[in-house]
Amino acid sequence: MPQPLNLHPDRLFPADPTVRAIARRLYDSIKDLPILSPHGHTDPRWFAENPSFGNASELFIRPDHYVFRMLYSQGISLERLGIPRRDGAAVETDPIAIWRLFAGNYHLFRGTPSRIWLDTVFSEVFGMTVALAPDTAEQYYHAITEKLATDAFKPQALMDRFNIECIATTEGALDDLKYHGAMKGGAMEKRVITTFRPDDVVDASREDFADNIKKLGELTGEDTHSWDGYLAALRQRRAFFRDHGATATDHGHPTAATANLSHAECRTLFELCISGKAGSAQQELFRAQMLTELAGMSIEDGMVMQIHPGAFRNHNPRIFEGFGRDKGADIPSPTEYVKALKPLLDKYGNDPRLSIILFTLDETSYARELAPLAGHYPCLKLGPAWWFHDSPEGMLRFRHQVTETAGFYNTVGFNDDTRAFLSIPARHDVARRIDCRFLAGLISEHRLGEDEGFELARALTYDLAKKAYKL
Amino acid sequence: MPQPLNLHPDRLFPADPTVRAIARRLYDSIKDLPILSPHGHTDPRWFAENPSFGNASELFIRPDHYVFRMLYSQGISLERLGIPRRDGAAVETDPIAIWRLFAGNYHLFRGTPSRIWLDTVFSEVFGMTVALAPDTAEQYYHAITEKLATDAFKPQALMDRFNIECIATTEGALDDLKYHGAMKGGAMEKRVITTFRPDDVVDASREDFADNIKKLGELTGEDTHSWDGYLAALRQRRAFFRDHGATATDHGHPTAATANLSHAECRTLFELCISGKAGSAQQELFRAQMLTELAGMSIEDGMVMQIHPGAFRNHNPRIFEGFGRDKGADIPSPTEYVKALKPLLDKYGNDPRLSIILFTLDETSYARELAPLAGHYPCLKLGPAWWFHDSPEGMLRFRHQVTETAGFYNTVGFNDDTRAFLSIPARHDVARRIDCRFLAGLISEHRLGEDEGFELARALTYDLAKKAYKL
Amino acid sequence: MPQPLNLHPDRLFPADPTVRAIARRLYDSIKDLPILSPHGHTDPRWFAENPSFGNASELFIRPDHYVFRMLYSQGISLERLGIPRRDGAAVETDPIAIWRLFAGNYHLFRGTPSRIWLDTVFSEVFGMTVALAPDTAEQYYHAITEKLATDAFKPQALMDRFNIECIATTEGALDDLKYHGAMKGGAMEKRVITTFRPDDVVDASREDFADNIKKLGELTGEDTHSWDGYLAALRQRRAFFRDHGATATDHGHPTAATANLSHAECRTLFELCISGKAGSAQQELFRAQMLTELAGMSIEDGMVMQIHPGAFRNHNPRIFEGFGRDKGADIPSPTEYVKALKPLLDKYGNDPRLSIILFTLDETSYARELAPLAGHYPCLKLGPAWWFHDSPEGMLRFRHQVTETAGFYNTVGFNDDTRAFLSIPARHDVARRIDCRFLAGLISEHRLGEDEGFELARALTYDLAKKAYKL
């Protein structure tokens, strides 16, 4: 006998009736605001070519590292989940078998945000009324897969249904942005924008770094084997990205280190890095220097700079060798900001034209470092709870630990940061509910007026993102 | 006029009536489940020889470092509490005087878990109905001491009364396990098992290390002064411990460092360590390498591996010199896991035969490192909130910070980790109440179904420990 | 239409009616207790000379780095806020213009403790009944400024109105304490005391260090260019401070490092430091050694030692150059205690005559390091949540993370740590409300008796500070 799938209208609000009623009032005032998604990893092809999304397993399992990392942690091989191997060796290809395996282990997600997002998509997007479980697996598979074949479930229709006003994708510095180009002049032009993520030409520890620098030269006609030519090429690419809608850059570095070297030191370091002879400390110094260089370029061209430090990428070499990047094996590390950012801040920190949005995977920095920094430096704002912390408890810790020192207005609203397009409304809904809940707590304790709460609910949902990302 | 001692049936549940009612329902469904105590420090002699526990002071004060560290922090000398000195110098010997001193300072424990455990034992085990205070000190002392002299308060009777299905003690690698041997064939055989804790023959920084290696050779007939003989001797001892019920090993290291050296490097390092000439970095490297060696042995023999890192042992040299180890002067330190565990995980992390249970004294690692690691690696599970964090708030922080990334099924239920046998039901009761409270919170906020809550309450109380420790 | 300014009588209490009612009962029992302010930065001149406080902007904006750092973080220059520049360049001098700018940005403080303190002062001290906002800015400015001109708003009258039993100021080692001297024999003598803060003659990284050592010699007649003469001079100054009421010393170091060098090593290190040739590691070692020396002096003379580590001072060089110290650009850093304090604790940690009050800006140390240390060492107590953490959430985290291991009696009550004299009752009121709220939580969950709650509320408000600071 299947359990019903009920999304309670008051989900994620606290049980206390006073606080819940306030949270509900705030939420009702903002739940229908359009979605701004200023940082994420959806595929621009979807919006340009409007394809169907395939079957339920392709949509929900294969691309979602939150899902398969949990299954893997309980001994289920990635091969059985149909994750393609780099060596082309056989993996499960029957999507129904994969879906059954997932459904049979759906209990593993109890208490996780994936469970909330998935149930919300199942209910709100696909209209499911029973819970996913072994005995409903096939019913789910077929219901979802059939709907995905219809026009109403194609990307452009969903953009409207989801009320997405603007979504940013993320592309590497060498990307030709052909899908963004193809959208020019169409209905999606201003709704789908790119983001400039130059890690591929900034991180000299990558195996493809030398190649990438060469390609950067070919793309731009600059001599990218000279420091000045390299910088000129980056400026050119930034302009190209801006022409395809980009208002922001993004930097996924292992640490928040910045540097402020002389021009001569930069030249020497750059030459060492492109020679392939740089050690890891020199590669780290180069990344550090490049954050400062890129901040300088942001002052010139007005692009907002996002820094996402602190992930130890590809921690599990067997998974990396077998399946490649982004397979659930990235692990957060302790991340220091106060000393790390000082060289950049010493140079540019007081410049009102600069806007840097900081993220962290190390929650200990919220109250100790990030809120004090953002509560002082005009150029700094704090991005929302990120990745492993994009969750009800993670968001509550963010607000509880950040607000008293940084206030609300040094934060920038929500980022869904996802490649799972169908989950975007669910993710924003969690953020909206949790923000309203947090505000309701303050109001119920007479730390904030309810009139202020309505203003803030709107700011956290819409206004702050619009302003911070210059949308 | 003494205050009454009332254990409220809803203690540790939140005040909100909705959440409390759910917590109560969940708790009622699991409160009578048998106790599994898979990690602890009770004395196996108790279960083999079934002696009386002596008097109230001997039972509650002398062995309980939670109790005397708090009293010491407020200026009460360990001598006045009857803690024996290594040099044999006089200490207080009148148990009633010691008990009076304790009772006179019982207010110091307000807000601590010791207070909850003690009151629960006083009420539930000894039937006390007034609160411990200066004016009830003697009444308490005599009531407890008289009961301790009766058969109903001897260890084996209490095993039944407490409904302990299985309890693991912890013994060093050189232990003869004579008490476990004596229990063979008796009623306690499967209920009292040992745990293999080889720190004494793995930690080359110990003064007795060379002696211990020699004894290990004598015990096993192996040449423990060669690397290969040393490893063979460890394998032999593991088999001996398994023959006395052990299903797990335990490793109390200063850090979580692991290493993966070549056979030749291991040999050289081992020789340096047994020569007594190793520096502290080399001793650390040897401990690190041994965690990897022992993980390999766990794959061979199926023993579950527990790693308890992060205590700075014997921080107070005057206490160590005067009174020895385990006298309340161990202090937690910042503990890193992501880099530390990588060598071991690179070698064995994807092997489904390996099971490692990680503990921490550094709560900052819960959400940042441990939950992401356990939510990916098949070999890793997370032990419960440990030692200073074995407390209502500590357990809540554990669940709040771990669940969203690791889920419930990468955790292993509760460990009481205690030498205070009479407090075991009280400690498990706190854990059961707090877990039910946490689940009730999720249910009341519609993040979990109540039917799922009942399943999880049972899993956290019984099933997960049974499975993780192979009981 | 202005919003009303209503301070709800139950502000900062939780919404749950059961918990709120308990919190209210506890709070009613202690809200009128006199204020002890054993650590702060008010100007002793106020109490000696009893001047008027000037205008609203001078009182609330110019001296309050919490206020102007937030405004600065949103792009408002310190010049526009009338903060004087070191180079004497023009800044805004119209206090009404400054006040309007503040009022126009008052929404930035939503969710911050500044907002709570300010609203409380506006309402309770100045009787304002409408909220501060752009349209009430001038009404506020004039109402406040007019009241400030009256005798009832002068410092001595406010001391009585605020029911301040004792307040400690903080002076450098070279201060002549003339205002404290002037108060001798008067009504303020025992109510206003100094605190000995010798950073200026202990921190060899300061530009004025050599000068200060010279002045210390002149003041004391000791040869402060010899190690022994330097120590003798410090002892003399401590006696001078004690003669002006001081019961405590205070030490604001970058880290908690302590050292225990030989006399010969000290002499060499001291000579290096006063020569101006010490590197930063040597300056750090000297500060570390001095904490141990000063602990020894505390044992001699009974002064309580406060250690405030972990601030990265003057992080923003442009603000430091332009405006000097204490301009909102100090940022907390990760702070380690367990290894750092060991040299001092090894030497003096078990001495019952020593009393050290530890503070932190790194909340990760609460449960991991500080509570375990204070729950063991007789000489250690924990100061309250400090600076960025002197806030409702900060105080709750302190109690939640510290109490289970250190109890209540290893803490010392509240410090307002402020130079904003008019906000002192508001700050103490927040602490009283939050402590009562925390206790009410324990009581409502049957973790503490309500009778104990009343005792503890009084202890946390008054008794513990009185005892810890020997007032």
**Chain A neighbors of C13, CB-CB under 8 A:** 445
What's the gap between Cα B64 and its chain centre? 13
The CA distance from A454 to B320, in Å, is 59
Mean predicted confidence (pLDDT) in C344-357 = 97
Å from B3 to nearest chain C CA? 9
- What is the overall mean pLDDT for chain C? 97
Q: What is the mean pLDDT of residues C257-269?
A: 98
Q: Which pLDDT band, with edges at 50, 70 and 90, does B284 fall under?
A: very high
Query: Is the Cβ of C342 closer than 8 Å to some Cβ of chain B?
Result: yes
Q: Is B461 at the interface with chain C, CB within 8 A?
A: no
**pLDDT tens by residue, B172-187:** 999 999 999 999 999 9
Nearest to C109 among A377, A407, A455 (CB): A407
The burial class, CB within 10 Å (0-12 / 13-18 / 19+), for C268 is middle
CA nearest to B365 within chain C: C364
Residues 25-64 of chain A whose Cβ lies under 8 A from any Cβ of chain C: none
Q: How far is B388 from chain C (nearest CA, A)?
A: 6
What per-residue confidence (pLDDT) applies to B6? 87
DSSP H or E run through B306? strand B304-307
Amino acid at B300: E
Does residue B56 register a pLDDT over 80? yes
pLDDT of residue C186: 95
Q: Side chain identity at B293, as an amino acid letter? A: E
Q: Considering CB atoms only, which of B73, B364, B389 is closest to C375?
A: B73
Residues of A in Cβ contact (< 8 Å) with C367: none
Q: What subunits make at least 3 CB pairs under 8 angstroms with C? A: A, B
Residue of B nearest to A434 (CA): B445
ipTM of the complex: 0.97
* Cα dihedral A160, A164, A166, A168 sign: negative
Q: C362–A368: do the CB atoms touch at under 8 Å?
A: yes
Q: The dihedral of CA C426, C427, C429, C430: what is its sign?
A: positive
With tokens 């959400």, the residue in question is: B367
- DSSP letter at A174? T
Please give, rounded to a whole number of angstroms, the shortest distance from the CA of C139 to a CA of chain A.
21
Provide the token pair at A96: 């129904």
* Residue B333 contacts C, CB cutoff 8 Å: yes
Residue in C367, C378, C452 closest to B73 by CB: C378
Q: B353 CB near a chain A CB, below 8 Å?
A: no
Q: For residues A14 and A8, give the distance between their C-alpha atoms in angstroms, rounded to a whole number.
A: 13
H-helix or E-strand spanning residue C267:
helix C263-274
Task: Provide the pLDDT for residue B199.
Answer: 98
Long-range contacts of C442-447 (CB under 8 A, 24+ apart): C442/B111, C443/C22, C444/B14, C444/B15, C444/C16, C444/C18, C444/C19, C444/C22, C445/B11, C445/B12, C445/B13, C445/B14, C445/B15, C446/B7, C446/B8, C446/B10, C446/B11, C446/B12, C447/B11, C447/B12, C447/B111, C447/B115, C447/B116, C447/B392
CB contact under 8 A, C315 and A342: yes
Token pair belonging to A55: 């079957």
Tally of CB atoms within 10 A around C129: 11
Q: Does the pLDDT value for residue B290 go beyond 80?
A: yes
Interchain contact, C11 vs A445, CB within 8 Å = yes
Instruction: Using alpha carbons, select from C339, C312, C173, C159 the residue that is nearest to residue C244.
Output: C173
Q: For chain C, say whether A446 makes contact (Cβ under 8 Å).
A: yes
What's the rounded Cα separation, in Å, for the pair B441 and B438? 5
Going from the C-alpha of C345 to that of each of C341, C348, C355, C370, the distances in angstroms are 6, 5, 11, 13
**Could you give the strand order of the β-sheet that contains B192-193, starting from the edge strand earlier in sequence?**
B35-37, B164-168, B192-193
> How high is the pLDDT of residue B25?
98
Nearest CB to B349 within list A111, A316, A328? A316
**Chain C positions in Cβ-Cβ contact with residue A345 (cut-off 8 Å):** 315-316
Q: Can you list the positions of beta strands (E) in C190-303?
A: 192-193, 196-197, 248-251
Q: Min CA distance, B258 vs chain A (Å)?
A: 15
Q: How far apart are CA C426 and CA C420, in angstroms?
A: 11
Residues 6+ away with beta carbon under 8 Å from A74:
A105, A108, B378, B409, B410
Q: Which helix (H) or strand (E) holds C438?
A: helix C424-444
Q: How many angstroms separate the CA of residue B372 from the nearest CA in chain A?
A: 6
Tens digits of residue pLDDT in B238-248: 999 999 999 99
Mean pLDDT of A149-162: 98
Alpha carbons A334 and B304: distance in angstroms, whole number: 28
Question: Alpha carbon of B337 to those of A54, A281, B380, C335: distances in Å?
Answer: 40, 21, 12, 19
Cβ(C308)–Cβ(C253) below 8 Å? yes
Q: Which of C383, C300, C295, C302 is nearest to C343 (CA)?
A: C295
Contacts of C399 (CB under 8 A, 6+ apart): C434, C435, C438
- Provide the pLDDT for residue A2: 85
Domains, chain A, with CATH or none: 17-53+151-468 (3.20.20.140), 54-150 (1.10.2020.10)
User: And the tokens for C30?
Assistant: 């202690």
In this complex, the residue of C367, C368, C442 whose CB is nearest that of residue B111 is C442
Q: Alpha-carbon distance C187 to B416, whole Å?
A: 58
**Reported confidence tier of residue C239, pLDDT bands at 50, 70, 90:** very high
| DSSP code for A153 | G
- List, in order, residues 6 or more apart from C55 with CB less than 8 Å away: C95, C141, C144, C145, C148
A328 touches B: beta carbon within 8 Å: yes
- pLDDT tens sequence across B355-400: 999 999 999 999 999 999 999 999 999 999 999 999 999 999 999 9
B371 — contact with chain A (CB < 8 Å)?
yes
Helices C95-104 and C65-73: crossing angle in degrees, nearest 10, is: 60
pLDDT over 70, % of chain C: 100
pLDDT for the residue numbered A10: 98
Inter-chain contact C111–A345, Cβ cutoff 8 Å?
A: no
The sign one gets for the Cα dihedral B195, B201, B203, B206 is: positive
Q: Do residues A125 and A87 touch, judged by C-beta distance below 8 A?
A: no
d(C-alpha B306, C-alpha B381), whole Å: 10
Kindly list the residues from chain A whose CB atom is less than 8 angstroms away from the CB atom of residue B456: 110
**pLDDT (average), residues B37-49:** 98
Q: b/e string for C355-386 if b means 16 or more Cβ within 10 A?
A: bbbbbbbbbbbbbbbbbbbbbbbbbbbbbbbb
Q: How far apart are CA C111 and CA C263, in angstroms?
A: 52
Partner-chain contact C332 A369, CB within 8 Å: yes
Give the pLDDT confidence of A345-381 residue by residue, as tens digits. Answer: 999 999 999 999 999 999 999 999 999 999 999 999 9
Please name the member of A12, A16, A333 whose beta carbon is closest to the beta carbon of B447. A12
Residues A182-224: tens digit of each pLDDT: 999 999 999 999 999 999 999 999 989 999 999 999 999 999 9
Number of CB pairs < 8 Å for B and C? 124
- The answer on pLDDT for A3 being more than 80 is yes
Say what the pLDDT of residue A1 is: 74
- Torsion angles phi and psi, residue B55, rounded to 5: -110, 175
At a CB cut-off of 8 Å and minimum separation 6, what does B160 contact?
Answer: none
Any idea how long chain A is? 471
Contact state of A112 with B407 under an 8 Å Cβ cutoff:
yes
Are the beta carbons of A74 and B400 separated by less than 8 Å?
no
Q: Do A316 and B408 touch (CB under 8 A)?
A: no
Q: Cα separation of B469 and B304, whole Å?
A: 6
Average pLDDT, chain B: 97
What would the pLDDT profile of C380-432 be if each residue is shown by its tens digit? 999 999 999 999 999 999 999 999 999 999 999 999 999 999 999 999 999 99
Beta bridge partners of C405: none
Residue A361 in contact with partner chain B when CB distance is under 8 A:
yes
Interface of B with A in 386-405 (CB under 8 A): 400-401, 403-405
Looking at beta carbons, which residues of chain B come within 8 Å of A108?
Answer: 407, 409
Q: Is the pLDDT of residue C2 over 90?
A: no
From chain C residues 255-314, the ones with a CB under 8 A of any chain B CB are none
Average pLDDT for residues B194-215, to the nearest whole number?
Answer: 97
Question: Which positions in chain B touch C452 (Cβ < 8 Å)?
Answer: 107, 110
Q: Confirm if A274 and A216 have CB atoms less than 8 A apart.
A: no
pLDDT of C1 strictly over 80: no
- Cβ contact (<8 Å) for A376 and C72? yes
Identity of the residue numbered A375? G
B349:A15 CB<8 A? no
Rg (CA), chain A: 23
C388–A367: do the CB atoms touch at under 8 Å? yes
Contact of A173 with chain B, judged by CB distance below 8 Å, is answered with no
In the numeric block, which tokens belong to residue C450? 């309500």
Confidence of residue C49 (pLDDT cuts 50, 70, 90): very high
